[in-house]
A and B are shown apart, each in its own frame.
Chain A
Amino acid sequence: MTSPTETPGTAPARPGAPAPTAGPTLEVTGLTTTFDRGGRQVLAVRGVDVSVGPGESLVLLGESGSGKSVTIRSILRLYGSSARHTGSVVLGEEDLMQLDPAAVRAVRGRTIAMVPQDPNGSLDPLRPVGRQLEQVLRLHGVVDDRRAARARALELLALVGIPSPARVAGSHPHELSGGMRQRVAIAIAVACDPVVLLADEPTTALDVTVQSQILDLFGDLQERLGTALLLVTHDVSVAADVADRVAVMYAGSIVEEGPAQQVLENPRHPYTQALLDAIPRPTSERGHLKAIPGSPPVAGTGFHGCSFADRCALAEESCRTQPPALLPVADGHRAACPVANPVVAA
């Protein structure tokens, strides 16, 4: 048996994906999120621009406190009145930031949905999971009556790879394994056939053999439904596995963004490079991992210049005073480091 090798130029088009002429499904521009912590203003997201097209996977990669989870929760406006936002989140024709709360609720779960990290916290422990799925369908008026909801719920459970949907639909969350619960959470997220799926560390709580099943499921659903995926993770290998494009976040900002392979194999920002170097590989000598000195800044810390300057091997005096802009460094690839990417007169 010979394993098929990837030949350039023969990559099949995603069957479910609409024509490439369509613009981005979700376009986030200049998003900021500020929390009020007892009178202290904490700027957790400082001007994020991302866009994701139909059938495309964008991964937000970052360490704890980088603002990656806050970014996707802000897109869904989950913080309500406890946060202040600027910028726009354009989904289709609408700017979610301009909608009133009732209108946001109608969109949430319907055209844009989220898969949480820990399904234990999002599933109701007291009701069978099938009922919870039916509720979403009926709430958004996707089905007419209870019977149709029941049938659609079973279809969705089968869609996410659950072997005996009828039995699982009647089970309570505690009767299911972690992987099964995450499949149910994904079924709920895709119930109304959203155009954008947000996922916050959806496999972090799972074992590695189950994690690979769930990541495969995302790819499979995207192919079948043409859904845009915005996935948040701290795990470089998860990003490498699912991303078409990767956006690296540090201290509330995107420091690098581009095609996954380019960003992960030829990073143009010192932080991305350092993060990749810090991962143990078969070739790295014990005791000589290239660690990044110091630790990531606490969320909301203020900076005058580049947020990574204190830990950066390339930092110059100007880095501590001039905030770097996210500028193109290659085709579709942007990085916020003028030192690593000096401007060449074109």
Chain B
Amino acid sequence: MSPAGAPGPAGEKLLDVVDLAKTFPNGTRAADDVSFTVARGETLGVVGESGCGKSTTAKMVLRLLQPDRGAVTFAGTDVLRAHGRDLKEVRRRLQLVPQNPQTSFNPRLTVRSSLEFNLRAHGVARRTWRSTVDDMLVRCGLRAEQGDSYPHELSGGQLQRAAIARALVTGPDLVVCDEAVSALDKSVQAQVLNLLAELQADLGVSYLFISHDLSVVEHISDRVLVMYLGRVVEQATAGSLYRDPAHPYTRALLSSAPGAPGERIVLTGEPPDPADPPSGCTFRTRCPWVMDKCAADRPLLEVTPAGSLAACHLNLTSPPALAAPSPA
């Protein structure tokens, strides 16, 4: 349902997600018609506040969670219907770096054993394990002998490097990074962000980079999706999103980051209950620019004058540079 003229990825399409939807048994609408693509060698950032559906979307892409409807195509394979050897191949090429390495490593296995486990699962010949693991640990800025450490013997930054090595050891095309640097101290976070960029340049891997941290997403991403209450509200190249945000939510999010320049758009209240989202536009209950139309019609993603995609009725009626209208 991507409209024509949308800012698509420049290179070969690696991942194609169409209209993914998921409602949990408790009524929470975690994802509502989420569509996007990721090109080979590209980083697509996903930002949004807690409960916006960014992690749910990632889990469906990884087929850790079955969507209610929608399609995920990865390198020509239908991920949601793949089985047997095809599914295994998808899993080898589609890896995850989770938020907290302390809980994603088995505390009773050495880091090396955890990495080898990933190789074994994908049928890599045992004689190559040692050299493959050593090589990847070194690439990720660890010493090969640190592979023999247990998780508790490494610092948070070192263990996150090991988690990245574990994801890359099978030679994936796409790595989903779910808040992969959020738990790290800033001084260490910069090291890991540099490592991710370096690995991308060397290996040509793509990232689906999920984070609530706007400055980190801007730094690492080529394009960015902004999600609110289960929906994509804006999609743009990283540069234009931060320079020229179109959707009111994106504007508020950027302006409320402490230290952001310009006048702050203070949103009243908090995101509504995702089990009972507002009609029409889900952001209308907090939007300073709300109109009558917003309650009646759900805005679809449309090309903005700036060339991004945004789901807002204002885009159709206002000039590209929205002068802040008086909220009265």
CB distance from A284 to the nearest CB of B (A): 6
* B276 located at the interface, meaning its Cβ lies under 8 Å from any Cβ of chain A in the complex: no
B218 touches A292 (CB 8 A): no
Interface size class of A (residues with CB under 8 A): 35 or more
CB distance from B311 to the nearest CB of A (A): 18
Within 8 Å CB of B263, what residues of A?
3
A215 touches B219 (CB 8 A): no
A280 touches B258 (CB 8 A): no
Within 8 Å CB of A311, what residues of B?
187
Within 8 Å CB of A216, what residues of B?
266
- Which one of A103-111, A126-134, A235-243 contacts B? A235-243
- Give Cα A49 to B212, complex, Å: 35
CB distance from A119 to the nearest CB of B (A): 14
- Give Cα A164 to B322, complex, Å: 33
* B157 located at the interface, meaning its Cβ lies under 8 Å from any Cβ of chain A in the complex: yes
Instruction: Known A64-B185, A179-B270, A212-B264; judge A292-B259 contact (CB<8 A).
Output: no
B258 touches A177 (CB 8 A): no
Interface centre among A274, A275, A286 (most CB of B within 10 A): A286
A234 touches B186 (CB 8 A): yes
The 8 A CB mask of B211-222 against A (1 = contact, 0 = none) is: 010111011100
- Give Cα A180 to B214, complex, Å: 23
- Which one of B101-109, B127-135, B194-202, B299-307 contacts A? B194-202
A289 touches B194 (CB 8 A): yes
Instruction: Known A286-B197, A287-B197; judge A280-B216 contact (CB<8 A).
Output: yes
**Which of A3, A207, A275 contacts B49, CB < 8 Å?**
A207
Residue of A nearest to B193 (CB): A289
B258 touches A296 (CB 8 A): no
Residue of B nearest to A177 (CB): B270
A209 touches B267 (CB 8 A): yes
CB distance from A271 to the nearest CB of B (A): 9
CB distance from A36 to the nearest CB of B (A): 22
**Which of A3, A208, A291 contacts B190, CB < 8 Å?**
A291
Residue of A nearest to B47 (CB): A208
* A210 located at the interface, meaning its Cβ lies under 8 Å from any Cβ of chain B in the complex: yes
- Give Cα A215 to B266, complex, Å: 12
Q: Which of A164-213 contact B (CB under 8 A)?
A: 177-180, 207-213
Q: Which of A291-312 contact B (CB under 8 A)?
A: 291-293, 295-296, 311
* A279 located at the interface, meaning its Cβ lies under 8 Å from any Cβ of chain B in the complex: yes
Residue of B nearest to A311 (CB): B187
* A290 located at the interface, meaning its Cβ lies under 8 Å from any Cβ of chain B in the complex: yes
- Give Cα A265 to B20, complex, Å: 45
B190 touches A280 (CB 8 A): yes
A279 touches B194 (CB 8 A): no
**Which of B187, B220, B252, B259 contacts A296, CB < 8 Å?**
B187
A238 touches B258 (CB 8 A): yes
**Which of B215, B252, B256 contacts A211, CB < 8 Å?**
B256
Instruction: Known A237-B258, A238-B258, A291-B194; judge A208-B186 contact (CB<8 A).
Output: no
Within 8 Å CB of B194, what residues of A?
287-289, 291
A289 touches B258 (CB 8 A): no
A296 touches B185 (CB 8 A): yes
Q: Which of B301-326 contact A (CB under 8 A)?
A: 324, 326
Within 8 Å CB of A238, what residues of B?
258
29 residue pairs from A and B, CB less than 8 Å apart: A178-B270, A207-B271, A208-B49, A209-B256, A209-B267, A210-B270, A211-B256, A212-B257, A212-B258, A215-B258, A240-B258, A240-B259, A275-B187, A278-B186, A279-B186, A279-B215, A280-B190, A280-B216, A282-B242, A284-B219, A287-B193, A287-B201, A288-B194, A289-B219, A291-B187, A292-B190, A295-B156, A295-B158, A296-B188
Closest 7 CB pairs of A and B: A287-B197, A280-B219, A207-B49, A291-B190, A241-B258, A237-B259, A278-B190
Contacts A286-B220, A291-B191 aside, 6 further interface pairs with beta carbons under 8 A come to A1-B324, A210-B49, A213-B266, A284-B219, A287-B193, A288-B194
